[in-house]
Amino acid sequence: MFEDLTTAHLADACLRAGVPLRCAALPPVTAGHRAAGRALPCVHVGSVDVFLEAYESAGPGDVLVVDNGGRRDEACVGDLAVLEARAAGLSGVVIWGLHRDTADVRSIGLPVFSLGALPAGPRRLDHRPADALTRATVAGFDVTREDAVLADDDGVVVVPLDRAGELAALAASIRDTERRQADLVRDGTTLRDQLRFAEYLARRRDVPGLTFRAHLRAIGGAIEE
């Protein structure tokens, strides 16, 4: 349902719909890659077995969401974990932490998103929490099986699974409005003219508390919302 949508469109839809925005700056290992699907969360505690166990319950197109606490002293996902994710039918891997084996990961072709790369793997084995396969924390927010994930060059956005269709439709509307605006700019009608910016400045002189977003709502502009 997120086909031909970007994370920016989906983030704007969340703001428009009043859905709490959950997003993280996690770029793809390979530029241009994108992933979308139901979240498959897990907490990494030092061993790859948690990934293998998560794959046992994966559905087609799920996105593995790995909580490694945002650590930058170890890489928690390597080529074998990614290769096995592809074999399990996942559409991508999102890591709140680091990956390694970058060249091999790129050759596998499955979209992977992380905070960066580091050669060193884990040298620890911590206590595994009871919810290690039901909840992941990413950038300060929780991700569960009741969520959907969209990831692209701008990062990752997580939305409630039961509102994904509604948000996708709203995001598509925002996308289409912005594309029309972009086409008009290319044809010579500036964005300022389209958004009646001079009118906004004039009204703001009379109503100092008037915000640009309120003006946009009044005229149906999509930018910023």
Instruction: Please report, in range form, the residues annotated as the binding site for substrate.
Output: 78-81, 100
Between CA 22 and CA 39 the distance in angstroms is 13
Nearest to 28 by CA among 7, 59, 10: 7
Binding site listing: 78-81, 100-101
Q: What are residue 201's phi and psi, to 5 degrees?
A: -60, -40
User: Could you give the 3-state DSSP secondary structure of residue 24?
Assistant: strand
- The answer for residues whose C-beta is within 8 angstroms of residue 183's C-beta and 6 or more apart is none
The label of the residue with tokens 């995001």 reads: 171
- The answer for residues whose C-beta is within 8 angstroms of residue 218's C-beta and 6 or more apart is none
Query: Residues 149, 150, 155, 158: is their CA dihedral positive or negative?
Result: negative
Nearest to 11 by CA among 217, 213, 180, 154: 154
Between CA 151 and CA 63 the distance in angstroms is 9
Binding site listing for Mg(2+): 101
